[in-house]
Amino acid sequence: MARDRRITRKNIMDAAYVLFRRRGYARVNVDEIADAAGITKRTLYSHFESKDALLESVLEDQQELAFAAFQTFGKQLTGTPADIVRTFFRELARWSNSPQWSGSGFTRLAMELVDLPGHPARRIASRHKMQLEAHLADAFAAAGLKDAKDCARKIWLIGEGAMALMIIHGDASYCDAAEAAALAVIA
């Protein structure tokens, strides 16, 4: 019975993730999540006390997966600081060319919940972004870049801005401009 409960919980989280990623948190209701998971709303609430609790669980799970994926990509962040910047933005450009790319789900969600600063999803998104920025700083430090943390913060900011503008304008050339700006930061 416990195994079935774990499977049901995972099915709920998977369905919620797909819907939240596609349509955003506010535009998805619990009935839709239950329907997508093939369960009743009552069953959903037996696993999660609220839609917010479900979102928190989904993000915790996705944060671990996203950070693991970034660490795999992060192994490519080697060489000189300029090599690291070029690789970072080359991979951002590659990611943004994937079908139906919509930027960082963590960033989009934090913006959607901007009026709820204490929301657990904002805390998870913040932790996720700090981990990624720290990983970039570690790569710069390993490459011998002075002020690695400060440069990583500036370059992370440039990358996030590039993602936002690529979404707004549908123009991937913002990635090239971001790379040039990031190279100026480390010069």
Helix axes 2-23, 51-74, angle to 10 degrees: 80
Mean pLDDT over residues 35-60, rounded? 95
Can you give the CATH number for the domain in which 36 is found?
1.10.10.60
Q: How confident is the model at residue 100 (pLDDT cuts 50, 70, 90)?
A: confident
Q: Indicate whether 73 pLDDT > 80.
A: no
Last residue of a domain, one of 31, 48, 65: 48
Indicate whether 180 and 124 sit together in one domain.
Answer: yes
Helices (H), 75-172: 81-96, 105-112, 120-142, 148-169
Q: How many angstroms separate the CA atoms of 158 and 171, rounded?
A: 15
Indicate whether 2 and 66 sit together in one domain.
Answer: no
Please give the residue range of the domain that contains residue 32: 1-48
Indicate whether 70 and 156 sit together in one domain.
Answer: yes
Indicate whether 155 and 181 sit together in one domain.
Answer: yes
The percentage of residues in the chain with a pLDDT greater than 70, rounded to a whole number, is 96
Q: Indicate whether 3 pLDDT > 80.
A: no
Q: Indicate whether 67 pLDDT > 60.
A: yes
Residue from 88, 66, 99 nearest 159 by CA? 88
Q: How confident is the model at residue 66 (pLDDT cuts 50, 70, 90)?
A: confident
